[in-house]
Amino acid sequence: MSEQKNTAEMLVIGGGVIGTSIAYHAAKAGIDVVLVEKNQFGAATTSQTARAFRTYFPRKPHDSEMATRSLAEYKQFSETMGVDLGLENLGLLTILTSPQQVAELEADLADHREAGAAVEMVTAAQAVELNPWLDPDTIEAAVWNPATYRIKPEAIVQGYVEGARRHGARLFSNVAVTGLDSDSGVVSTTAGDFTAQSIVIAAGPLSGDVAKLAGLDLPVWGQFAELLHSDAIRTDRDVHNLPFTFHPVSGLKTMGMGKAFLVGLERISKQDGLRDIWYQAAVDELPKWYPELEGVKLYSAWTGSLDVTPTKSAIIGKGTGKHERVLFAAGFTGHGLAQAPLAGQIIRDLYLGHNPNVDLTPYSLGLNLARLEAF
């Protein structure tokens, strides 16, 4: 490679939805960007999702703000990127099963509304109107968030990759990082060495390992994740257009997929070997909320890894001291699709020394390191 091709102002490690968003927003701002991805763009965690985008995260108004502000960019994607994201409104129904849960989530709805999320508490009867498959006897109330959508993750990545290249970014797939010197800004890869003023770690579940190459402790790890699907349900009732439905205590989440149900279990652990336990938990939980699905078999739709953190929110920021040229945006815990646009804007602003107009306290490295001790 020529000297010009081996240097950049910003080198982004990771070609999923977060990394490509960063590359696009930085290149659009006039920053000379190189991005390297060890596989194909968007082939890892970005493709391993329920293909849904939500703007409400219980007890996390900061994540609701990230998603709500990101949605504005997605709604303009066809116009700005020339790519159709296939946005299809579903809505999110967060079901609550005790007076205590209702009181706790109702108490912070004002914070979510201030963050821009459209949320309202609905009765059990109203919840069943929204999702008629639910059992009203098991529900105390629910939070309704209409701004939840089906979305095409591969289209998002395609749009960002093409947009970044239009603005002069150089993006390389099938290039793995083998070394990282944050003092000199040299990143060693299977395609040779690159030198950059700033290095951005956005490598999903591998972000912690990449950071270790530079001697930086970034508490992000890959956790096994699986989505399940049911048999096709023999019914004349609508399944496909049911709202994304979530029970935050058990972690059970469902959405329609044709005549079948897509089922997941949103749980976080550093322990290995939990697949069979979590699968059985999903099998046991499903008929509690969907009595008509008693005995329905569940099959693996896909397995993969999520990039998770002690706070269950992303780590977004800039290193200090000998790591001051390192920026990071990782650990989105399965919600990268919902937060990628704003994450890209934040990293761009941090590089330029601008105020990102986002409170980054909940996403700080220090908070996650402190929380790790008690995790």
Q: Do 230 and 293 share a domain, yes or no?
A: yes
Q: What confidence tens digit (pLDDT) does each residue in 218-267 have?
A: 999 988 888 999 999 999 999 999 999 999 999 999 999 999 999 998 77
Q: pTM of the entire structure?
A: 0.95
Among 368, 157, 153, 146, residue whose Cα is nearest residue 268 = 368
Q: Do 230 and 141 share a domain, yes or no?
A: yes
Question: Of 264, 289, 308, which residue is a domain's last?
Answer: 308
Give the whole-number percent of the chain exceeding pLDDT 70.
Answer: 96
Question: Of 308, 323, 338, which residue is a domain's last?
Answer: 308
Q: What confidence tens digit (pLDDT) does each residue in 311-352 have?
A: 999 999 999 999 999 999 999 998 999 999 999 999 999 999
Q: Do 227 and 289 share a domain, yes or no?
A: yes
The pLDDT, as a whole number, for residue 51 is 84
The pLDDT, as a whole number, for residue 143 is 99
User: Which helix (H) or strand (E) segment is 254 a member of?
Assistant: strand 252-257
Structural domains in the chain (count): 2
Q: Do 247 and 304 share a domain, yes or no?
A: yes
375 band by pLDDT with thresholds 50, 70 and 90: low
CATH code at position 99: 3.30.9.10
Q: What confidence tens digit (pLDDT) does each residue in 102-138 have?
A: 999 999 999 999 999 999 999 999 999 999 999 999 9
Q: What confidence tens digit (pLDDT) does each residue in 6-39 have?
A: 999 999 999 999 999 999 999 999 999 999 999 9
